[in-house]
Amino acid sequence: MQSIEAIFGLVMLLAGATIYQWVDEDGNRHYSDRKPDVEQFVEVELDEGSISTYRAVPTPAPAENGEGPENAGAAGPETPERAARSNAAARRDELERYCNDLLEDLDAVQDQLRRGYREPRGQQLRDRRRELRAAYRRECV
């Protein structure tokens, strides 16, 4: 439920709209971009830094233009330029996989934090999230 609230909050933040929050008589928290019909509500100020926007980007399918590994020797002998390009492409692919793994790990930690925890597990999760964010910023941005 909190992830839905975060996504909703992000959409509303990007749209530049005012967000209203209120609690109904059953204790359920509600959010809307329209002013509610209840007397007790709050206009929510969103802090962009508190909204998690990390999501892994799907890896595109391999191109079907004959450049795949199965056709590696079909275009002639390996030249130094071709070897350098293939090494650079392999490094890029490896970095992309590493960055996607970091994002997936970060999402998993964030989901665990949203589900709730007991100390000291919460601090361990926050520390892990901090490490993953630092690694992502250092290696992938």
Determine contact, residues 107/55, Cβ cutoff 8 Å: yes
Strands (E), 53-108: none
Share of the chain above pLDDT 70, in %: 65
Euclidean distance between CA atoms 85 and 80, whole angstroms: 9
Domain residue ranges in the chain: 1-53, 80-141
| 35-47 residue pLDDT tens | 888 888 888 776 6
Residue whose entry in the numeric block shows the structure tokens 């975060």: 6
Share of the chain above pLDDT 90, in %: 18
Residue 32 CA: distances (Å) to CA of 3, 11, 18, 19: 15, 11, 9, 6
What pLDDT does 104 receive?
A: 92
What pLDDT does 25 receive?
A: 83
Predicted TM-score (pTM) of the model is 0.42
| 53-87 residue pLDDT tens | 666 666 666 665 555 555 555 555 677 777 777 88
Backbone angles phi, psi at 10, to 5 degrees: -65, -45
What pLDDT does 2 receive?
A: 57
Residue 50 pLDDT > 80, yes or no?
Answer: no
